[in-house]
């Protein structure tokens, strides 16, 4: 079986690259592995830290106009200063940790010659004397277990690596830093600086759980850039601290470049986060020829990924609305820095690619196998950005919650609005529908221009009705869901996203979403659910039928599969044809493709096909309610396991709400 899978992978790469590029890629891959082995051996004798910057006269580049951010209520500031945080939980947990001497001794023994690291330790000790307590960077409070520094991702043991990863993104420290800046709270800066110095000391580059994933490193490096930007502007870093912070950002940048998550099989939000992180860090750090080269590369890849990762209708090819919103926020940030680079006069001549000319360099291979950024190509991608944002805006349900089709890990790249203290950190779907306020989102929005947020090219889409084909029906089941009062069906707005496979019926009294996906790519299926022909319905701001999210990833595959598969989705299936569950939590091999047969603003008719059977779903929106008829052409319909599912909706990652998936009587 492994041989068959290997051959399938080679075949897929061959289809994507062609024979010549496939052979070159294998040479690049071997060269890359040898290079990593060389670096591993080298780091056994020398410092893990790059130590690029040593001059005290370095000038970084400001990222945002922080003074334009409106002050906000930070009622939990006192808890943050005691390391009490809400991480994938409604409750605050204490993440304080007095690091044992054994851990410090073990950390110091990583390199016998690392005097630079000892300097970091000396700077950190200054704040320990002020009795500031460090953060436990390896703790998962949900399982009450700790990771060891050299652990990998652990599956099915209850412990969740996303918990310490979330803390190590520094987003809570970023919020504290912005608040301290707006309110001149100088004492808070000491807490923030100590936590960062503590992390840099205890987590040397490439070592430990916080250097397993280039996306996490890119997000952390970008938030560290924002924090450092403020501390430098406010003159809150001494000369040694400034160099430590700048060198750490450079370490993050180098790690992302060395471990970039590009694949000839497929690419997803991870690679997009890599690119946006490279844009942010290369823009912020003091400029040199190498950084201009990297910045140019990131801009080119930014446009390539808009093209590659999003359908023409604006939807993300990952098939998850939550990951679409996550990627949409990153597109907004990337657009901001693209405009900022352009407005600040950074010019790239042909020689700027000199440092990427190595034939066996992975970055060079990516660059040479990407689309050239012509004016027409760039303009087409910028037009697609408008569709991406519009798609995000429509994912706001009638009760102002996020539509969760597919997976949701509730993460973000930057917190776009510090005033909204929610466990769901993605916010663009809400912010696009609100009146203007002075959050980070609106600073970015105003800079890039309002043209990207106009809906003139995204009018409600009505697909021409076709005659319904008759078929041999062996089984039928009907459901009726009443409205609380009669609605004017002429006021319904239908927005169809055929490529993504989502049909949005929007009315001031309700929101109805119907999933019918026909596009499928196995190597990009990690966040899909078995949800074709499922619906999500909110009436008068109350959940009626809800797509329940994903709750967890690696900690418990049984629970993960419970939320991924048909047990948690109100959709018709053939009896006895339950899809086989994947053993790996981030693949989805048994996908039932859907097809829309008829759609209008008061009707939906679609199907999924088995080998010897077709299952249909017809939805009619009446003034009095929703009429649903499901049909099976051969055999019987399933018993709708979701009707007996007493599980609660996962309102955000690892958090359960009060409502069940089905909040009405359907039997």
- 33-46 average pLDDT score: 77
Of 213, 220, 171, residue with least CA distance to 586? 213
> Which of these ranges, 9-23, 128-142, 240-254, 431-445, has the smallest mean pLDDT?
9-23
Please tell me the least confidently modeled range out of 120-129, 159-168, 330-339, 480-489. 120-129
Confidence of residue 360 (pLDDT cuts 50, 70, 90): low
What number is the average pLDDT over the span 623-652? 94
Q: Residue 469 above 60 pLDDT?
A: no
Overall average pLDDT of the 284-297 stretch? 93
The whole-angstrom separation of Cα 384 and Cα 390 is 10
User: Tokens 């502007």 map to which residue?
Assistant: 233
What is the distance between the alpha carbons of residues 557 and 582, in angstroms, rounded to a whole number? 9
pLDDT band at 111 (very low <50, low <70, confident <90, very high): very low
DSSP string, 149-192: TT-----SSS--THHHHHHTT-HHHHHHHHHHHHHT-HHHHHHH
More confident: 481 or 19 = 481
DSSP at 574: B
How many CB atoms within 10 Å of residue 530? 21
Span of 41-50, 328-337, 438-447 with lowest mean pLDDT:
41-50
Average pLDDT along the chain: 90
Cβ–Cβ < 8 Å for 176, 188:
yes
Average pLDDT over residues 251-259: 96
Given a cut of 90, is residue 536 above it in pLDDT?
yes
Over residues 376-387, the pLDDT tens digits come to 999 999 999 999
pLDDT (mean) for 101-107? 46
Dihedral pair phi/psi, residue 514, rounded to 5°: -120, 130
Using CA atoms, how far residue 36 sits from 42, 360, 574, in Å, is 10, 13, 50
Q: Which long-range contacts (CB under 8 A, 24 or more apart) does 375-382 make?
A: 377/303, 377/307, 378/303, 381/303, 381/306, 381/307, 382/452
What band does 14 get if pLDDT is binned at 50, 70 and 90? confident
Encoding tokens for residue 25? 């890629």
* Token pair belonging to 262: 């590009």
CB 117, CB 111: distance < 8 Å:
yes
Burial 230-258 (b: 16+ CB within 10 A, else e): bbbeeebbeeebbbbbbbbbbbbbbbbbb
CA nearest to 202, candidates 104, 316, 280: 104
CA atoms of 416 and 440, how far apart (whole Å): 5
- pLDDT of 456 strictly over 60: no
Give the pLDDT of residue 1.
45
Of the pLDDT bands very low, low, confident and very high (cuts 50, 70, 90), residue 113 is low
Q: What is the pLDDT of residue 100?
A: 43
Sheet holding 625-632, edge to edge: 475-482, 625-632, 614-621, 603-609, 594-600
pTM here is: 0.94
Q: Look at residue 350 and tell me whether its pLDDT is greater than 90.
A: no
The alpha carbon of residue 470 and the mean position of all alpha carbons in its chain are separated, in whole angstroms, by 43
- Give the whole-angstrom CA distance, residue 283 versus residue 142: 37
* Backbone φ and ψ of 475, nearest 5°: -150, 145
Give dist(CA 79, CA 246) in Å, integer.
28
The H or E element that residue 496 is part of is strand 493-497
Whether the predicted pLDDT of 101 surpasses 70: no
How would residue 667 be classed by pLDDT, with cut points 50, 70 and 90? low
pLDDT of 470: 46
Segment 403-416, tens digit of pLDDT: 999 999 999 999 99
Q: Are the beta carbons of 227 and 173 closer than 8 angstroms?
A: yes
Q: d(Cα 484, Cα 476) in Å, to the nearest integer?
A: 26
Q: What would the DSSP string read from start to end of 319-332?
A: --HHHHHHHHHHHH
Q: What is the pLDDT of residue 211?
A: 97
Average pLDDT over residues 304-309: 97
The answer to whether 140 touches 87, Cβ cutoff 8 Å, is no
Query: What does DSSP say about strands 475-482 and 625-632: parallel, antiparallel, or unpaired?
Result: antiparallel
Question: CA–CA separation, 69 vs 78, rounded Å?
Answer: 21
**pLDDT bracket for residue 276 (50, 70, 90):** very high
DSSP structural state of residue 452? G
pLDDT in tens, 547-580: 999 999 999 999 999 999 999 999 999 998 887 7
Q: Please indicate whether residue 416 or residue 128 has the higher confidence score (pLDDT).
A: 416
Distance CA 426, CA 325 (A): 7
Extract long-range pairs of 128-133: CB within 8 Å, 24+ residues apart: 128/194, 130/190, 130/194, 132/190, 132/191, 132/194, 133/82, 133/83, 133/96, 133/97, 133/98
Q: Following DSSP, what letter does each residue of 343-384 receive, concatenated? A: HTT----GGGGGGG--TT-HHHHHHHTS----HHHHHHHHHH
Most distant pair of Cα atoms in the chain: their distance = 80
What is the distance between the alpha carbons of residues 36 and 32, in angstroms, rounded to a whole number? Answer: 6
Joined tokens for residue 367: 């660059």
User: Which tops the pLDDT comparison, 459 or 281?
Assistant: 281
Res. 527: pLDDT tops 50: yes
Structure tokens at 362: 């992975």
Tokens of 548: 């329940």
pLDDT band at 110 (very low <50, low <70, confident <90, very high): very low
Model confidence at 108, pLDDT cuts 50, 70, 90, reads very low
Q: Using alpha carbons only, how large is the chain's radius of gyration in Å?
A: 26
* pLDDT of residue 99 exceeding 80: no
Cβ atoms within 10 Å, residue 379: 10
Burial class (CB in 10 A: 0-12, 13-18, 19+), 29: middle
For 66, which DSSP code? G
Residue 399: DSSP 8-state: T
Q: How far is CA 351 from CA 285, 365, 369, 513, 597, in A?
A: 20, 17, 19, 50, 54
The phi, psi pair for 230, rounded to 5°, reads: -70, -45
């Amino acid at each position: 079986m492994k041989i068959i899978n290997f051959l399938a992978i080679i075949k897929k790469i061959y289809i994507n690259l062609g024979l010549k590029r496939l052979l070159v890629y294998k040479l690049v891959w071997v060269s890359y592995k040898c290079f990593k082995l060389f670096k591993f051996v080298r780091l056994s004798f020398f410092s893990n830290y790059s130590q690029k910057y040593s001059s005290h006269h370095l000038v970084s580049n400001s990222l945002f106009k922080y003074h334009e951010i409106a002050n906000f209520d930070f009622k939990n500031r006192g808890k943050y200063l005691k390391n009490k945080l809400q991480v994938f939980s409604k409750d605050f947990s204490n993440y304080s940790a007095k690091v044992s001497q054994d851990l410090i001794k073990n950390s110091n023994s990583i390199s016998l010659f690392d005097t630079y690291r000892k300097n970091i330790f000396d700077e950190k000790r200054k704040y320990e004397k002020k009795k500031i307590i460090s953060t436990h960077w390896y703790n998962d409070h949900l399982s009450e277990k700790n990771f060891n520094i050299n652990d990998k991702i652990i599956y099915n043991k209850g412990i969740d690596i996303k918990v310490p990863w979330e803390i190590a993104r520094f987003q809570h420290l970023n919020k504290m830093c912005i608040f301290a800046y707006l309110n001149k709270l100088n004492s808070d800066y000491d807490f923030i600086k100590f936590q960062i110095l503590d992390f840099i000391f205890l987590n040397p580059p490439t070592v430990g759980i916080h250097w397993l994933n280039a996306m996490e490193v890119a997000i952390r490096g970008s938030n560290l850039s924002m924090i450092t930007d403020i501390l430098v502007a406010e003159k809150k870093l001494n000369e040694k601290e400034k160099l430590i912070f700048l060198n750490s950002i450079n370490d993050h940048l180098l790690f992302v470049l060395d471990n970039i998550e590009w694949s000839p099989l497929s690419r997803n939000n991870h690679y997009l986060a890599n690119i946006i992180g490279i844009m942010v860090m290369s823009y912020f750090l003091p400029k040199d020829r190498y950084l201009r080269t990297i910045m140019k590369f990131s801009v080119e890849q930014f446009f390539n990924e808009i093209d590659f990762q999003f359908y023409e209708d604006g939807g993300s090819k990952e098939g998850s609305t939550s990951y679409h919103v996550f990627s949409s926020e990153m597109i907004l940030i990337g657009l901001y820095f693209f405009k900022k680079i352009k407005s600040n006069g950074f010019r790239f001549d042909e020689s700027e690619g000199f440092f990427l000319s190595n034939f066996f360099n992975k970055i060079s291979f990516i660059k040479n196998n990407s689309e050239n950024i012509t004016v027409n190509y760039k303009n087409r991608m910028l037009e697609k950005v408008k569709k991406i944002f519009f798609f995000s805006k429509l994912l706001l349900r009638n009760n102002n919650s996020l539509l969760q089709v597919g997976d949701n890990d509730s993460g973000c790249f930057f917190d776009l609005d510090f005033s909204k203290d929610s466990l769901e950190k993605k916010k663009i779907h809400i912010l696009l529908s609100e009146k203007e306020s002075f959050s980070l989102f609106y600073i970015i929005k105003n800079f890039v221009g309002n043209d990207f947020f106009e809906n003139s090219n995204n009018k409600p889409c009505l697909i021409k009705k076709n005659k319904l084909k008759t078929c041999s029906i062996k089984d039928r089941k009907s459901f009726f869901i009443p409205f609380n009062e009669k609605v004017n069906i002429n006021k319904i707005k239908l927005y169809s996203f055929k490529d993504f496979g989502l049909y949005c019926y929007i009315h001031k009294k309700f929101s109805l979403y119907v999933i019918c996906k026909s596009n499928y790519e196995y190597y990009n299926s990690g966040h899909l659910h078995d949800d074709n022909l499922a619906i999500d319905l909110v009436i008068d701001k109350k959940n009626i039928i809800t797509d329940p999210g994903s709750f967890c990833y690696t900690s418990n595959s049984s629970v993960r599969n419970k939320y991924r598969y048909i047990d948690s989705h109100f959709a018709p299936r053939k009896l006895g044809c339950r899809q086989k569950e994947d053993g790996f939590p981030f693949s989805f091999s048994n996908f039932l493709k859907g097809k829309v047969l008829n759609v209008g603003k008061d009707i939906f008719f679609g199907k999924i096909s088995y080998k010897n059977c077709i299952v249909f779903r017809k939805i009619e929106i009446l003034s009095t309610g929703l009429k649903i008829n499901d049909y099976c052409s051969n055999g019987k319909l399933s018993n709708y396991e979701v009707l007996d599912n007493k599980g609660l909706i996962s309102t955000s990652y690892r958090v359960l709400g009060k409502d069940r998936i089905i909040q009405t009587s359907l039997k």
